[in-house]
Every structure is written in C-alpha cells, then in structure tokens.
Structure 1
C-alpha cells in the first residue's frame, strides 16, 4: 500500500515555496502552508509542547479526503507546522469521500494516543464511520493500532452513517469516550467506557438535542469544579458552538444539564476544542470558518483562489463565572505590542470623529459607559469600498456592506456591566471580545489580499465612549511554515 503520508509531505514541500509567493495569509491565526483545513483535533500538551492537530486535505483548497495535519507551539501563539500526523492509508479509511475524520488526543503512561473516526465505503457502497486509534512515543511519528477499528459502527444495533468525532478522557482509573451520532434525525452523544483505551463498552446516551439532527465534535472537561460539555449542533439556526455546564453521572452514563450557553455569537467559529496547560488553565480554539449548510454562509471568498483555505481562531482563555463560561483574549497578545496609540480620550479630546489607518495586525480597545446611544465603528477598504460596520447599543451588531460574502444581522448581547470591548484584526479575521461579559463574536471579512483598512467611529453622546486605543501588533511571521518532522 502506498505511503500516503510521505506522498502528501513531499507534495507540500514541493509546492510550499510557490504558495508563499502567491497567497496572503494571516499573521496571528494559524493556517497551513497550502491546502484545505477545518476542525481542530486532538489538542494536547505533550512532551513540553502544545500539539494542534486538524482536519486537512493538502492537495486542493476544498474539502476532500481527510488527513490529520499537525503543528506545535510553546506559547499557543507562535506555531511550527509539522509533517502530516495521520493519512488515510488503511482499507477502513481509504475512500475519496472519507479518510481520517475528527477526534481527540490523550496521554497515558508516556504514550500519546490519537482517537479518530475512520470513514470508508462498505460493500454496499455506503460511507461507514468507525472509531480508531494511533499511538506515538515522540509526538511526531504515529502508528495505527493493528486491531483497528476499536469500535465498530454497529454498536447501536445497526450501521449509522453519522457516528463520529470521539472525545476521550480519564476519570479516576477509567477512560470514557463520547461519540456524536444521529438517530431518527435527533443529534445525540453516546458514552463508552474502557479500562485500557483499546476495548470499549457502550454505556448510554449521555445527551441528546431534539432541535439538532447531529452533534459534532464534542469536548468534555472539568472547569472550576463543574463538568463542561461542548459540541457543534447541526440544525439549530444561529447556534454553531454550544456549551453545557452540569455534572456527568458516571454510574448512569448521563450528563445532567444545569445551564446552557453559546461559545461564540459569530458565524465563523466551529468545532471548538480545548487545551489544558501545565498550570491547569483551559484554552479553546475553533475553526474560523463555516459550512455551506449554515444560513449565513455564502462562500470562502478569495481563499479558494489562494493556495490555502481555513484558519484557526486565536486561542481563548476559558473561565467559569457562576453558571456561565467566559472566553477572554489571552494575555500573551499584549506581549506582541509594537506601537500603542490613544486616538480618542473624552477627558482631552471631547467628542469628535477620528480616523486611523490600519496596516498591520491590530488590537483596538474601547472603554465604554452603559447606555442606549449607539456607537458606530466602521472598517473600510478604500480600494473596493467594502465596509464592515459594528454598532454598539444594548447589544453588539455586525453588518458587512459592499461585500458579497458579508454576513448580516449578527448580534451579541451586551449588558450594563460591559465596560471594555477588544477587537482583534488580522487578515480576513475579526474577533470582538466583551472582556466583562466573557462573550465573543467572530467573523471573517474577505478584504482583497490586504489588511489595510480605514477605521473610524462616531457617537452622538460624548460620555458614552470614554477612550479608544489602537495597538499595532508585532508583524513578525508568527507561524513558521517550514515543514519539520
């Protein structure tokens, strides 16, 4: 059988230099050198490095047979692209429409385990999904288990075309796995248990969502004394990344929900997964794009003309405050400051409308007072006339004009406690953080191959807007694109 991983790595190495000359890529947001990328997979700290695996197809800028790409970091900001971790090389995963789908990573007794969904056609020509595992001692080279698949598709009584995205963790001395399924057009997460990571027993349906026909890419972890379950529901309008706070009943195999929330109010944040740092902090990353089935989706812009398509969000620090999750911009971003300018201060300037030209990755910080008088923020491409507009009232709303790929009528709730908004700008990516409420809104803005934008703002009530600070971030190439083993 062909060594598909070596073939793909050779292809990437051969075409990477040309891709770098002909494509524009974000500075802060991880992207592969070339090819298609979607869901983050198997996020883990192993042997002194953060490992980011991801759904990947190296040969074109649209979804096709899935591989696992691989990158590492020492700080969750600067990434080193590595060679492919998993390739669809076995008969149980080697279909053009299949491959190595999403999954998780776990370390046990010095070995790194990658759990993933293998997808291939059965004898009737139907795509069937099964759970598999690969192992590594060094975090670079992976061997698939000789007795894969470890969970067959018929564990629910019959074959199911939607049976994917295993999430594995350890509780006390037992391992558990959640897998997303669709039964009778209802999205469910089913729970398995194991004593050795290789032999699994079905327990029960841990959670089901009748308003979604599928629950993709589950994650599960403990945060500040509560269990947190996250997933991406398919079929719920304007809700693409959900979280549940509650408690897993390990005896019954059921998750007891206490509170539900949304991880991101934008339309470009999907399939999020988390890292646990050595210090015990939790960070989350999502795929900063969307799918064709989403109501607001209207293409991938010029990304399909580039050598690459798909980016990851900035890692966000997660905290639990009461019955809500708060997502915060990581402190490490402040270490990238190159130049800071206070372009508006009500104490010295009074009311005025100011303009700042943005040329590099930029962080904009707004200090607010509560109120209903709108504050309008405008980002304009002077060459094309395309503008992105954010309006701050009792909620934050986003509207893109002159952009055929713009998303309209996107809102994020604000509250009287909202005093600080941070807007992170990178090529194609805008992320807005409410630092007080812990909410985020992520959108992609496809300005044609440049970050250069004219930024202006206005507010008819002077006291509402206290200060605006624009900070250019260090433009050094944070993502190292040399392909290492």
Structure 2
C-alpha cells in the first residue's frame, strides 16, 4: 500500500494522535515571540479560528476551536481543545477532532457547539467536503472523559439542507429547553441570510421547524455561526450572527422574542456587536453562576497576519459577560475573574490636558496592561477630541490612538501608526454616560487591544503589531482642553 493510501485509511484516533505528536514538537519555538499573547487563549502552534463548543462541564470551562495544527494557515479543520477552572488560566488538551470520515475528510470538522447530555460531553459540528453532495452535513462526537472523542455511527445526523441551492448550511448551535433539544444552523439562499431551526429528543434524530429568522435584505447573504439564547426575563432572546458580505459589519446581534412552539424568533432590535476589525464568529455559553459568557475569534478573514511568520495564527477574545438592557441593547463586560491578573498598580487623578498637547504618563507603560480612564466630557471644550495613545515608541512614530470626539459623540481607534499588520480606523457613536462621563476600559496584550466603553455599551477589538520596545502610554487633547477625572493602570 502506498503512503497516500496509508494516510487515507488512518482512523480518527490515529489522525488525532498524529496531530498531537506534531504539536508537541512545535510549541517550544514560540518562546520569546513579542506578538505571542500573554493572557489570551491562543493555539499552542499552528492555526486557530472560530470558537467552538464553549461549555461549562463538570465544574470546568471547556473551549474548542477551529484548528490546523500543521501550519500557521488555514487547512483541513481539526478541533483544538483547552480547559480552565477560572477563565484566566488555560490548559491545552489533546486535539479533539480530526478529519477522517467520508462526510468530513475533505475540508474537515467545521464549527459547531457542545452540550452535556447526561454527563456525556457531546460535540455537534459540520462536516464539510467540497465536491460531495451535499457539501455540508451535521455530525456528532461524544466523550465520557471530556478529552477523547468518538464520532458516532449515526453520522451525519442531519444529512443536508432542507432545500438545494443554499450558499451554506453550517455551524450548528445546540441547547436544551423544557426537556427537548434545539439547534440553529447558519444558512443562506437567494441572497438572504437565515438561521434554520431544528428540534430533537435524543440529539440523533432531528425535525426541521423552519427558518427561525432571516435578513431584511440588508444583513448579508449567509448567516455564519448563529447563536440563539435566552437573556433577560421571560421569552427575551438574543440571536448573534456573523453575516457574510455585509461590508465592514462582521458580527451582529438581534434581540426579540422566541416562540418555541412555532420556532420563530421575532426580533425588534439589530446592531453591530463589536466595532473593531478583529472580531468574528463569537459563541456564548451559560456557566455555573447563570452568566451568559461570550468569546470571539480575535482576527478576521483576509487580513495581514504577521504572527503567521512566527509559527502560529489566531486568538480568542477575553471572556465577556453579556447583559440585556431594557431597550433591547446589549452590553459586554470583561468577566470579573480577570481581576486576578492585576499586578502593579498606578493611579492618576484630576488632570487637565491642554489643547493640542500630549502628556506622557511616566509610570504607566508596558505591553500587557489593563487601563481604566474616566474623562469628564462636561468639563471638556465643546470641540475637543481626547483620549490615549497606546504602545508608543520613544521617537513618537509608532502608537495606537484611542480618541473620543465630544462634538461628534464618536469613539475611534486608529491603527495607522500601530506597526506591522493592517491599518484602518474603527469608529462607533457613543453618548456620554448619564453622569456626563466617558469611561474607557482597555486591555493590552502584546498584539491585541480590547476596548470596553461606558461599562461595555460599545466594544472595539483590534489586533496591532508594534515593535517590542514600543511600550509608552500618553494622554492627548485636540481642538480644546480635556479633563481626565481618573486613570487606573495595572500590569497584567
């Protein structure tokens, strides 16, 4: 038998073992990398994209992810796996899934979710094989120890889309309600993005309920990575989607009411979920405290990814707790556990920044920082724009600019001078809080910036690739003076 035939005939277990052996040989080469994230979940080596199977299982947090272990680029998809007891410290576990069967041995085991089925950790994923009919099917894999997974003999459990001619039929998200299982699947047809809904009594036999929701014609032509979940009270639900071909909008959330009998989600509010460039395919789960927690892929398709040259690509955002406001808007805040990362602390109080000046904060610097800056907009000049310059080089040529315009009520993050990688300006409208202040809560982690504004009313997530020596932090004001009420900074 030739080598190609040997490779084709390998079992799922053999392919998983091969991937894990390869990864062990690669991880040592990433030490000393100035882009390597310090406290975010990233792959041990190779490629990472969508979060998959986020779940709180047997008192631990499990995170799976789209993974190609052999190179720092997209390839036939495996499922990487990590776990944590505190959402802060993550332990990498063996690769959970590898392409091996006729229904997933092409482009691999694509995105999906995880459930606890009476103690059995069950993964529900899309098998994708280009050239096969159908291309995409939904599949199960199970584990009793939470580490080793077996693909079920009943696969595929959904053997294809309900209609031919779909743009996509993938990314199943499964949950339980009133003793029954429900699934939403991303779908697109005739230029309209949709989520399809199914129900099951046993996770193996699924009944199609119809389209739970669809685009009004302005929200993309295929809805990837759908996630429909209760939040708030009564039948309030949130649908998170990653719409394809919607310009700069890569993720959205829709809030409304779900009718389980009809399988229809009637939404009344729709907005972009995160206003940065590097946020895609988010997924949520409920933890043991009853919190709805979200993590997303902290990259985006088509971007320059400088870390690829260093043997890895991709990361998760920080875990974010979701809260639903009375008006149907959503808030995302960093989970409370992240306070455990805080080290040395610096504080600045009551500082006026003169118009058209920059003010270096001599004791605040680094590449792994948490910063909370509160500005009093009422005390700023009407035309003033102000904020922070992050990861500044000593000669002032390299920096990332976070700016609030009092006149336009607009928050922006400018990567024009951030170093390697993509440039561009992220912008979002942001009114001051009820007390007239703007609160900017930032997490810096070597090659990333996550900004939570006004207690998570708006978020901006971006990757940046500055030189290792660019560590300074500055305050600035333009077109008028500004007033910093307080600034707290911690080394993480």
Q: TM-score, normalised by structure 1?
A: 0.90
Q: In the TM superposition, what whole-angstrom CA distance separates every residue of 1:369-396 from its partner, at most 9, and x where no partner exists? A: 1254211422223479322112111111
Note closer, same or farther for the CA distance 1:202–1:348 as it changes in structure 2 (3 Å cut): closer
One of 183, 199, 221 as aligned partner of 1:213: 221
Q: Residues of 2 paired with 1:103 and 1:451: CA distance?
A: 40
Question: SS where residue 23 of structure 2 aligns?
Answer: helix
Pairing 1:359–2:366 present:
yes
Mean CA deviation greater in 111-120 or 437-446:
437-446
Residue in 2 that maps onto 1:147: 154
Q: In the TM superposition, what whole-angstrom CA distance separates every residue of 1:150-202 from its partner, at most 9, and x where no partner exists? A: 1111x423264511000111110221111111211221111111111100111
Note closer, same or farther for the CA distance 1:121–1:291 as it changes in structure 2 (3 Å cut): closer
One of 203, 227, 230 as aligned partner of 1:197: 203
One of 165, 180, 184 as aligned partner of 2:190: 184
Residue in 2 that maps onto 1:457: 475
One of 317, 324, 327 as aligned partner of 1:313: 317
Q: Residues of 2 paired with 1:60 and 1:364: CA distance?
A: 35
Structure with the bigger RCO (C-alpha within 8 Å, sep 6+) is: 1
Mean CA deviation greater in 81-90 or 385-394:
385-394
Q: Give 1:363 shift.
A: 1.0
Residue in 2 that maps onto 1:268: 278
Q: In the TM superposition, what whole-angstrom CA distance separates every residue of 1:108-156 from its partner, at most 9, and x where no partner exists? A: 2111110000011445xx7701100111112111111102011111x42
One of 71, 90, 96 as aligned partner of 2:101: 90
Q: Residues of 2 paired with 1:360 and 1:157: CA distance?
A: 50
Mean CA deviation greater in 160-169 or 335-344:
335-344
Q: Residues of 2 paired with 1:145 and 1:457: CA distance?
A: 57
| Count of residues in Structure 1 that have an aligned counterpart in Structure 2 | 461
The 5-angstrom pairing of residues 99-138 of structure 1 reads 99-122=108-131, 128-138=135-145
Residue in 2 that maps onto 1:345: 350
Question: SS where residue 337 of structure 2 aligns?
Answer: helix
Residue in 2 that maps onto 1:399: 414
The 5-angstrom pairing of residues 236-385 of structure 1 reads 236-292=246-302, 297=303, 299-300=304-305, 302-322=306-326, 323-346=328-351, 353-356=359-362, 358-371=365-378, 372=382, 373-379=384-390, 380-382=392-394, 385=397
Segments of 5+ residues of structure 1 without an aligned counterpart are 474-485
Q: Is 1:68–1:84's contact at 8 Å kept on the other side of the alignment? A: yes
Q: Is 1:316–1:330's contact at 8 Å kept on the other side of the alignment? A: yes
Q: In the TM superposition, what whole-angstrom CA distance separates every residue of 1:61-104 from its partner, at most 9, and x where no partner exists? A: 11110000000001111100110011111121111xx1000001
Q: CA RMSD in A?
A: 2.3
Residue in 1 that maps onto 2:58: 47
Q: Is 1:358–1:452's contact at 8 Å kept on the other side of the alignment? A: no
Q: Is 1:343–1:354's contact at 8 Å kept on the other side of the alignment? A: no
Q: Is 2:353–2:359's contact at 8 Å kept on the other side of the alignment? A: no
Q: Is 1:426–1:451's contact at 8 Å kept on the other side of the alignment? A: no
Q: Give 1:24 shift.
A: 4.3
Q: Is 1:361–1:451's contact at 8 Å kept on the other side of the alignment? A: no
The 5-angstrom pairing of residues 23-42 of structure 1 reads 24-42=35-53
Note closer, same or farther for the CA distance 1:361–1:320 as it changes in structure 2 (3 Å cut): same
Q: In the TM superposition, what whole-angstrom CA distance separates every residue of 1:219-277 from its partner, at most 9, and x where no partner exists? A: 12111211111111111122211111111122222110021122211111111011211
Note closer, same or farther for the CA distance 1:47–1:107 as it changes in structure 2 (3 Å cut): same
Note closer, same or farther for the CA distance 1:383–1:275 as it changes in structure 2 (3 Å cut): farther
Residue in 2 that maps onto 1:476: none
Q: Give 1:440 shift.
A: 0.7
Q: Give 1:420 shift.
A: 1.7
Q: TM-score, normalised by structure 2?
A: 0.89
Q: Give 1:469 shift.
A: 2.2
Q: Give 1:23 shift.
A: 7.0
Question: SS where residue 305 of structure 1 aligns?
Answer: helix
Q: Give 1:433 shift.
A: 0.7
Q: Residues of 2 paired with 1:13 and 1:266: CA distance?
A: 33
